[in-house]
Structure 1
Amino acid sequence: MRYLDHAATTPVRREVLDAMLPHLTRWFGNPSSHHTVGEAAASALAEARARVAHVLGMRPGDIVFTSGGTEANNLAVKGIAVAAQQHRGARHLVTSPIEHESVLESVGYLRRVHGFDVTFVPVDGEGRLDPDAVAAAVRDDTALVSVGYANNEIGTVQDATAIAAGVQGRGIPLHLDAVQAAGWLPLAGTGADAISLAGHKLGAPKGTGVLAVRGRIPLEPLLHGGGQERGRRSGTEDVAGAVAFATALDLAEAERAASAERVGAFVRAFVARVLATVPTARLTGDPVHRLPGTASFTFAGTSGEAVLLQLERLGIVSSSGSACAAGSDEPSHVLVACGIAPEVAQTTVRFTFPHDLAQSLDDVATAVAASVAAVAS
């Protein structure tokens, strides 16, 4: 079986398992406990925090360990917005219509419960935001701008530094959902004030994540209790998970440039092969500004789910888009926002390749063509 759904989740790396195991067994203490076992756990947690901060170009105190990308996005959007509302009467948010559900639903909550106005800056047909349009959407009462660094469905990459420059010139914080970008794109130097990450996209276990938020940005916690994570996320910290996340992020960053070049070259050749052999195939997303490991196609006149089933019979596991929307009968909100007709959007098949790709997958392109032909006939 060839697993080509790495945007949904990745296998845990052996190095990560080895790093976290001692903190599940010998060094199992509660980092808030004031004894030898607890202090060992606290030391490991501090080291993990410093390692993550180094990769992001931030301070250790900026790092909040979470249960994953969804919680990180919720804490960023709700926490920064509510704090801004309390501190300076802000009541406006800026985002785009192609964001992950965890951002869009958080924005919806703030609109319903806290009375926020929301501006959705449109994207072009390839899913790209105009940084000038984002800056123009900012108001004096804007609490936060939240955009995805790279889209989880189509792989389009935004010009984060240009967006940050335009937004922060107005004194407004920028949150980047970088869950899909980690391991493929630089995370330091974007200019973002808050960055969300998820460990299971990098070879760490599910249930691990980070919100990095600069200390000058007020943040209202979502979880209350013991005041852990400097009062920003109460609850006994998952030390083993933090160590696992830091290890996976370190490895991904060390390998990033080489992986992006190698996988990107292969995926470009794969895309060209599919487009040349399947007349109905259309690549979604920006053909240039895209994640190196993502290739998403629509196949007009077919059923995306039927193509996926046929591919799995041939030993290739892929997806129709976001795992968080799996099972929904509705067309992808991302593709619809890019101007793709709903009936065409439902023919989407997404292939997301691993960072450690080391073999030819020409047979995958052949299998794609055969599956589309079989379904369309």
Structure 2
Amino acid sequence: MGGVDTAPEMERMTDMRVYADQAATTSLSKTALEAMLPWMTENFGNPSALYEEGRTARDAVETAREKIAHLLHAKAKEIYFTSGGTEADNWALQMAAAAGARTGKKHIIVSAIEHHAVLNPAKSLERQGFRVTYLPVTSEGVVLPETLEAAICPDTALVSVMYANNEVGTIQPVEELAEICRMHGVWFHTDAVQAAGHVEIDLTKLQADFLSVSAHKFHGPKGCGFLYVKNGFRTESLLEGGAQEKGKRAGTENVPGIVGMAAALEESLIKRDKKDTFVLELRRQVAERLLSIEGSHLNGCGVMEGDEGAAAGTDAAARHAGTAVSRADRLCGNLNISFDGIEAEALLLYLDMKGISVSAGAACSAGALEPSHVLTAMGISPELAKGTIRISLDETNTQADAEFLMKVIPDAVARLRSMA
């Protein structure tokens, strides 16, 4: 297929647009929108007001809090609403660091593949006198429990390891990691921004002290998220002002966003099994085609489920021969592939012109000239890392989308290589 000139077919398909960057953001679901609309129009009261409009808005916020807590098997009082995942991550690290410092514990551990919403606060804490250990990962992007245990010291206050990686989709053994932290009396935070709504999160099993979530990753609204803080931890104030969020985060609550987030999370989890089966099949097809391209490499947890034969002969398959990856190991919509002899920026621009939206990694790093810190930590060379794209699918994608990706991307790779 890669050797066939598909230009005429591509020209006829220029009106088609395939959005395959669901890890960056998702569209607002109809369910979430319908839940939000009344709180943008007739029910516009301030939740802090004592009169009827305010009480109605307050009830909506607390109902959403209870729904979210129920979905995560948590307590409503453990949920604090934020503007998104970045704020939640920053709050967790700053709060735990301050609490640790009061008892002489000024050591923090984070994985080397964290989102910058964790890495940059960690670097800031280093400048404030904290000692930070950056945990290495395997070639598949996994934090090994024994690596964490070896890094914990008597003065360790906090460990932060993301639930699922935003670039390569690897799902971490967070329950084991949290258990190690519990045994050593260390707080555990997990950035669950990519995981929430896509994997089952049970906080009675996952003994995390802090967990961060952002609504727009599961078809909720942008600008809304929450931080879970385990009951018993003395929550520090993030923003001073009014008495919102039990006096810990001042500012009028985003009522429509909170209501929409709860609705989107509930819908996503209810439909999870059905949508995962569909998305896994789309991913399998796209992976099979792209990994048949000479000089292609899959990054992350092994070969795609059902793709072992199709990927035979690729470097990725050779490294992980005989393995298969289910949604228990990798987010089901994630496909991170490197191409020899390709600059990702050129490939992304070419695909954009042909009607395909994918990314080179984290959306927050768009335009960065440095190779991905995630891929580098996994031992991938800077040259290969710079030739990497991330395709992320979900249930809003279609079979036609998959076929378009399989048609256009191989041709794009071939053309760019011929130009080089």
> For 2:127, which of 112, 129, 136 is the aligned residue?
112
CA distance in 2, matches of 1:350, 1:147: 21
TM-score of the two chains, using structure 1 as the length reference: 0.96
> 231-240 or 290-299, which moves further after superposition?
231-240
Kindly provide the CA deviation profile for residues 251-292 of structure 1, in whole angstroms up to 9, marking residues without a partner as x: 11111122222212321232122111x111101111222110
> For 1:298, which of 325, 338, 349 is the aligned residue?
338
3-state secondary structure, aligned to 1:95 = strand
CA distance in 2, matches of 1:183, 1:23: 23
Larger radius of gyration: 2
Q: Which amino acid aligns with 2:250?
A: S
Which residue matches 2:177? 163
Matched, 1:373 2:409: no
> For 1:184, which of 198, 217, 236 is the aligned residue?
198
CA distance in 1, matches of 2:122, 2:98: 11
CA distance in 2, matches of 1:194, 1:258: 29
Matched, 1:89 2:104: yes
Matched, 1:334 2:348: no
3-state secondary structure, aligned to 1:45 = helix
Q: Which amino acid aligns with 2:143?
A: L
> For 1:362, which of 397, 403, 417 is the aligned residue?
403
Matched, 1:58 2:108: no
CA distance in 2, matches of 1:302, 1:309: 12
Kindly provide the CA deviation profile for residues 328-347 of structure 1, in whole angstroms up to 9, marking residues without a partner as x: 11111111111111121111
> For 2:114, which of 91, 99, 102 is the aligned residue?
99
Matched, 1:154 2:194: no
Q: Which amino acid aligns with 1:56?
A: L
Shift of 1:57: 1.0
5 Å matches for 1:195-234?
A: 195-234=211-250
Q: Which amino acid aligns with 1:367?
A: V
Q: Which amino acid aligns with 1:105?
A: N
CA distance in 1, matches of 2:68, 2:399: 31
Kindly provide the CA deviation profile for residues 108-141 of structure 1, in whole angstroms up to 9, marking residues without a partner as x: 111112x111111100111111012112212222
Which residue matches 2:136? 122
> 59-68 or 181-190, which moves further after superposition?
181-190
Q: Percent identity?
A: 42
Gaps of 5+ in 2: 1-16, 303-324
CA distance in 2, matches of 1:223, 1:281: 47
3-state secondary structure, aligned to 2:226 = strand
The answer to whether the 8 Å contact 1:182/1:252 transfers is no
CA distance in 2, matches of 1:143, 1:165: 15
> For 2:188, which of 168, 171, 174 is the aligned residue?
174
Which residue matches 1:67? 83
Shift of 1:31: 1.1
CA distance in 1, matches of 2:280, 2:183: 34
Shift of 1:358: 4.2
Gaps of 5+ in 1: none
3-state secondary structure, aligned to 2:44 = coil
Aligned residue pairs total 374
3-state secondary structure, aligned to 2:335 = strand
CA distance in 1, matches of 2:214, 2:411: 35
CA distance in 1, matches of 2:158, 2:247: 21
Which residue matches 1:24? 40
Kindly provide the CA deviation profile for residues 177-231 of structure 1, in whole angstroms up to 9, marking residues without a partner as x: 1101122211113222211111111111110111111121233222111131112
Shift of 1:62: 0.4
The answer to whether the 8 Å contact 1:132/1:163 transfers is no
CA distance in 2, matches of 1:207, 1:158: 26
Which residue matches 1:310? 350
Q: Which amino acid aligns with 1:347?
A: G
TM-score of the two chains, using structure 2 as the length reference: 0.87
The answer to whether the 8 Å contact 1:80/1:217 transfers is no
3-state secondary structure, aligned to 2:234 = coil
CA distance in 1, matches of 2:63, 2:132: 39
